[in-house]
Amino acid sequence: MSEHMKALETRDFIAFIADNDASGIHRAGYNGVASLVLKSTGNNIFVPRYCGLNYEITLLEGLQQSDEEIFEPRRSPMSIIESDASHVVLHQPETALKGIEALITFRVEEPYYVHQNVRLTFHKPLAEGRAFESLWASYLHQPPDGHAYLKGPGGDLEGWYGATKERHRAPYYIIHDLPAHELTPAEHVVIAEEPPTPPRMGKIEAPLEFYYGLYFDHTFLMMFRDSTNVRFAYSPNGGNPQPPLSPALDYVLTVPRVELGRVYEWDLCCAVKPSAGRRDILEEVRRYRG
């Protein structure tokens, strides 16, 4: 294992945590969970050349920014500063353009959890008093069903819906409602291809407690300890512009008003587990959020 990538292992998977240097097939500019390989199948659920839980872009309200500024997390030096059998810490020193320092800790928990702790510190007055957003991307590797699934109001099996978009950066989601009974992964695919009710166009509002995607017979579940300043983002083909598509199921961490020198912190958890239905997902969320 190189100085730019470390392995964390549980009973169910091996997660390879990378900084944003190139390492083998892993491309420079991407960081986080470079690969998450399921022991049951040998499959990597993330696009091999990209990443999951990847610190991708930063935006500041009211400022016109170049691609160089927006994608600064990709292009600024980052390194692994600490690691052992259960955790890896990535550090990105204060960046040249926006002056943002990042400390990102990954920790695994049996049998199928990856925890991520994000700490961002703002060192330049450029950001002071402005709203801030950072987007964190997860590129799923050619899943049969490219939708993201979320829940609205209602009982345990009510209010669920699938969401996709016509294209990258489309302003609205294509949303289809799920029936109020449990579904297998294969039934998700059938409903995604032929929704029982006409899809509608809409937006997905913050705050965001959790969402999930499907990777064959596994569920990719993202959960957020405090959903106050978290929202959902998505691209139907972020990891591959040609079929079979590799959708990006992303989250955005926000700071409504930046204070200089303050450390902003988020805790989240990614569970990659055999699919067991939406009640099981809610139990996972309740356990995590406590």
Written as tens digits, the pLDDT of the chain (290 aa) is 689 999 999 999 999 999 999 988 899 999 999 999 999 999 999 998 999 999 999 999 998 899 999 999 999 999 999 999 999 999 999 999 999 999 999 999 999 999 999 999 999 998 999 999 999 999 999 999 999 999 999 999 999 999 999 999 899 999 999 999 999 999 999 998 899 889 999 999 999 999 999 999 999 999 999 999 999 999 999 888 888 899 999 999 999 999 999 999 999 999 999 999 999 999 999 999 99
Instruction: Tokens for 111, please give them.
Output: 């049998």
- Domain boundary assignment for the chain: 5-289
Provide the residue count of the chain: 290
Report the side by side order of strands in the sheet with 248-255.
54-60, 132-137, 248-255, 230-235
H or E segment and range at residue 255:
strand 248-255
Residue pair 39/13 in contact by the 8 Å Cβ criterion: yes
| Rounded Cα gap, residues 142 and 45, in angstroms | 8
Rounded to two decimals, the pTM is 0.96
The CATH topology of domain 5-289 is Beta-galactosidase; Chain A, domain 5 (2.70.98)
26, with CB counted inside 10 A (0-12, 13-18, 19+), is: buried
H or E segment and range at residue 175:
strand 173-177
